[in-house]
Structure 1
Amino acid sequence: MRRSFAAALVGFLVLAGLQAQPASAASKKPSKVGLVTFVKGGYDTGSNRTSLSLDWPDARRAEKYEIFVSTSRSMRKAKVYKSKSSKSTIKSLSRGKIYYFQVRGVNGKKRGSKSSVVARPTILRPGTTDANAMRLRVMTYNVCSEVCDTSGYAPYPWSPTRQSSVLERVASSGADVVATQEAGRFSVPPNGYAQAVHYSAKRLFYNTARFDLAPGAAPSTTFDPATGCRLTSETGLPTGVIFLGRHAAGCRYAVWAELVERATGRSFMMVDVHLVSGKTKATADYRRSEIYQMLSTVKQTNTKGLPVIYAGDFNSHRETKPSDSTRTPMQGSKYYDAYDMARKLSGQHTSSYNSFRTTPVISAKWGNHIDKVWVDPWKVRVDSWSNFALLDAKGKLAQPIGSDHSPVLVDLRIG
């Protein structure tokens, strides 16, 4: 009897001590929530509503979390959701609409500081639902084989070491098509690939195990005597060069190729472009005019009505000043950034421009990617988007760094 009473007393004291701990912990404010990341996007074809899945680091002392969702940059009239874990899926969102998010930890009546605002559009259209759709993995990669020799920051000359690093990324990607820019010296096709077209430092490679270049003659090479620029090629050919205008101290071009899937005979058109760089109003206007010229020429050239995929260095993103001048003309022609339409995301906040820094360049709100793939979301489904930089165990860019850009990799289904 004495033993039972003593055991009960000890149990009561232990229980009282345990109960006192949460009350103490509850008096402490949770730490600020770290960078919130979008990991998935969903589209419900039955309701035409969408979803976004988020993940974030655990906040110290947080028992649960509040998720603030708004359609305004200022987070005005934000709707509040709750989560018991450091991840959540927000459903029943409007399609093709930009949403802004913040997260904070909650501990009893104490609330921590909110995270930085992050933003993402929801998927506009679900893309193809064809079970037999062509699956295509596309890489775009500015390899900087010339400009990095003499650019404003410390020169990084093209070398066998840098080329090996670039080739490693291509080999590891499993890409079907690789669109490269500033690739004049990147002249040897990666193993298993053939070069479809090359002009003005744009090189377009394709995986020969899956695709062939469409049959036909090479485009003619004629020049305008007034400007010295190459004229746009004829229609009905397997490859071509698109004249984008003469500005920024030279003639500007994009290239394209028609590729044929060997197993099925289905074709698509792949465009590789590098728009003029710069942060002035003039360069923004140049980029806009280049886009309009590219879209117009492709429309005239694509007499077969093939699906078109655009890839390259667009030198513009949502935070570009003075304007993100490429987005409006692209979306006006029903082409959207694959990053915005992706079902899965990896490396969202790491900029695709790395400036040869081992520490990743982070952009919280949007993820500032100037290297892009654009698709028609009425015909193409984007399964995944990835910043395909090679990182070491500490999350740094692995040495040697192949270029001042990191490759972007997307998985598509073309209907």
Structure 2
Amino acid sequence: MKPLQTMSAAAAPVLASAASTQLAIDWEDYVGAPRYRVRYSKYSSLKKSTYKRVYASEIVLSKLKASTKYYVRVQAIRDDAKGTPLSGYSAKKAFKTAKKTKYTAPSKFQAKASARGADAIVANWGFDAAGRRYELQYATNPGFAGAGSIVTRGPSGVVQGLAANTTYYLRARSISVWGAVLSGWSAVATATTRTPDDPRARPLQVASFNVRNGTIASDTGNKSWAVRRHVVAAQLRDNHIDVAGLQEAEYTSVVGADGAWKHQFQDLLDLLGKSWRITCATSADPYCNDPATYSVGTRLIYNSETVTLRQAGFYALSLRSGDVRRFMVWGIFTQKSTGRDFFFANAHLDNSKSDAGFNQRITQSHQIVNEIAARNPRNLPVILTGDMNSQKWRSPYNAPYRVYSQAGYVDPIGNPDKSKVAVNATTEFRLHTEFDSWHSSSTKPTARPWINGINVDYIWVSRAVTTLDYETVVNVNDATMKYDGPPASDHHMLRAAVLIPG
């Protein structure tokens, strides 16, 4: 008698997205399988199952009940009438449909010509909730005949490639991740493309990023620097960052991606590529080993293909007893595409929630403002980034925010004390600003029911700087609101596209 042979199981399904009546399911290919059988049921025992056959390793299950858990298994099969099994069934996974939501037409819809070019219009409308998608439609006539459209992942959109000096009609509506219409159209707004006031300005991509100390022994698995460094580098590279203010990019050595011991910041630079530099480096000391350049993990890095470093330095902030040393680092750069100079500062402030910590942040913020003024006698446009360890619900108030605002710096997203709406926001376009700038979860970021989340990280600009885009960089699945892959850090990178004035 021949022994029974068992087939290997198919890969377990994963949720790609969920709606009130649909689940999009995905799974890894089973080698050599031409088709798959998908079995699903509302019952954990899989009684009263429904079966579907598909050729691709994905399926959208439709006509489901809202707010209901479904149990799903997958099996590889032959492409024959019986669906002869090629594998065992996968592990059973449970996925829940979304609750039924009543969608209303977007409110407060407005549009205007964009400063990014003579062919661009930007539109904004009222914030509803995180994870929403919209169709933004535009046409040269009020009937929207021959209209074009784009899909946005929030209450903001930029349409480019338009005809110059032309009036456009625009409107928006909510859609699902599959493009199904969920709401009626917003009110119609009009805007006319025009040549920007500063047509020679070009976008400069800047970032603030607390990359988390890579030497923490308890950070294992997806929290380890060995995993996270690739995500950090990808976010900087994929967003075409020109200059980034980093926090916790440590001087302490780690085992680099190439297996050699090196500073954490050097490991990141090596992953970014040969064009990337750090402001503390010199020809005599390319790896910033000189104690005179020591600024703990507060660093400025830049892409030498897009900007030129003219001058750099750092300033030791006042120190509260028991705290680590705190610094502001700065650099004067030239944007190669325009030849325009700008001043960039980056800092990491005291993190204590005590009264002493609050008072220390006031002192440190004033020191930063004064040091920028002292190092910037030409009054160049300023970009100030950092982890200020203070947010809008911090009692008695967000001290650094108040100090920087009083000094004339602008928060492009308008996120002052206890605000639930944007206050005097200046950014043309925003993405994912409803997410907090930091988190304590390895699976799911925190999204707020307001247009701006709770931020301890910031990008400030001087008043003459135009902010085109502002993004909290969150690699999140709109259906599950969970991370797609491991998060880069316990903070999210903040990205802004700005125009440096001439």
Query: What TM-score bracket applies, with the shorter chain setting the length?
Result: 0.5 to 0.7
1:149–1:156 Cα contact (<8 Å) kept: no
Query: Is the 2:247–2:386 contact (alpha carbons within 8 Å) kept by the matching residues of 1?
Result: yes
What SS is found at the alignment partner of 2:413?
A: helix
The answer to whether residue 466 in structure 2 is matched with residue 398 in structure 1 is: no
1:116-131 paired onto structure 2 within 5 Å? 129-131=197-199
Q: For residue 237 of structure 2, what is the aligned residue in structure 1?
A: 171
Cα displacement (A) at 1:336: 1.6
Offset at 1:327?
A: 1.4
Conserved in 2, the CA contact under 8 Å of 1:38 and 1:348?
no
**Match of 1:194, as an amino acid?**
R
Aligned residue for 1:245?
A: 318
**Cα separation, 2, equivalents of 1:88 and 1:397:** 22
Cα distance 1:385–1:41, how it changes in 2: closer, same or farther (>3 A)? farther
Change (3 A) 1:201 1:178: same
Structure 1 counterpart SS, 2:126: strand
Show structure 2 runs of 5+ residues with no match: 1-99, 116-122, 130-153, 158-195, 251-263, 281-293, 415-425
Deviation at 1:131, TM superposition (A): 1.8
TM score, norm. by length of structure 1? 0.62
Which has the larger displacement, 327-336 or 350-359?
350-359
Alpha carbons of structure 1 residues 170 and 324: separation in structure 2 relative to 1, 3 Å: same
In structure 2, the residue matched to 1:357 is 442
Find the residue that maps to 1:56 and give its secondary structure. coil
Q: Deviations over 1:264-292 (max 9, x none)?
A: 43211111111111323322221111110
Note the C-alpha offset of 1:173: 0.9
**Which residue number corresponds to residue 300 of structure 1?**
374
Task: Find 2:413's aligned residue among 332, 339, 351.
Answer: 339
Return the letter of the residue paired with 1:56: D
For CA contacts below 8 A with separation 6 or more, give which structure has more relative contact order: 1
**Distance change >3 Å, CA 317–CA 32, structure 1 → 2:** farther
Distance 1:356 1:306, change over 3 A: same
Question: What is the aligned counterpart of 2:126 among 35, 54, 64?
Answer: 54
Query: What is the deviation of 1:40?
Result: 7.8
1:283 and 1:38 map into 2 onto residues whose CA distance is 40
Give the aligned partner of residue 137 of structure 1: 205
The one-letter amino acid paired with 1:133 is A
Q: Tell me the amino acid that sits aligned with residue 276 of structure 1.
A: D
One-letter amino acid matched to 1:193: W
Greater shift after overlay, 257-266 or 166-175?
A: 257-266
3-state SS of paired residue (2:266): coil
Once the two structures are superposed, residues 364-401 of structure 1 have per-residue CA deviations (whole angstroms, 9 ceiling, x without a partner) of: 24411211100122x01111111112224643112222
CA distance in 2, matches of 1:273, 1:405: 15
Residue from 461, 468, 473 that aligns with 1:375: 461
Give the aligned partner of residue 299 of structure 2.
203
**Residue-by-residue CA offset, 1:276-310 (whole Å, 9 max, x unaligned):** 11323322221111110011111111122211110
- Compared with structure 1, are the counterparts of its residues 41 and 355 closer, same or farther at alpha carbon in structure 2 (3 Å cutoff)? farther
Give the letter for the 1:130 counterpart: D
Secondary structure at the aligned position of 1:279 is classed as: coil
Q: CA deviation at 1:149?
A: 4.2
Aligned: 1:409 with 2:483: no
1:147-166 equivalences under 5 Å are 148-149=216-217, 158-166=224-232
Deviations 1:199-239 (A, max 9, x none): 2211211112111111xxxxxxxxxxxxxxxxxxxxxxx11
Q: CA RMSD in A?
A: 3.4
Distance 1:303 1:169, change over 3 A: same
Distance in 2 of aligned mates of 1:387 and 1:207:
21
Contact 1:139 1:409 (C-alpha < 8 Å) held by counterparts: yes
Alpha-carbon displacement from aligned partner over 1:124-145 (angstroms, at most 9, x marks no partner) = xxxx942222421111110002
Could you report, residue by residue, the CA deviation over 1:319-359 in whole angstroms, capped at 9, with x for unpaired residues? 22332111111011110212222111111211110224311
Could you list the per-position Cα deviations for residues 50-82 of structure 1 after superposition, in whole angstroms to 9, with x for gaps in the alignment? x9621437xxxxxxxxxxxxxxxxxxxxxxxxx
Letter in 2 for 1:353: W
In the other structure, the counterpart of 1:212 is: 308
Cα gap change, 1:40 to 1:251, in 2 (>3 Å) = farther
Q: Which runs of 5+ in 1 are unaligned?
A: 1-29, 46-50, 58-85, 90-127, 215-237
In the alignment, residue 196 of structure 1 is paired with which amino acid?
Answer: T
Given candidates 266, 279, 295, the residue that maps to 1:187 is: 266
Amino acid at match of 2:299: R
Cα distance in 1 between the residues matched to 2:307 and 2:108 = 33
SS at match of 1:338: coil
Label 1:315 to 1:40 Cα distance change in 2 as closer, same or farther (>3 A).
farther
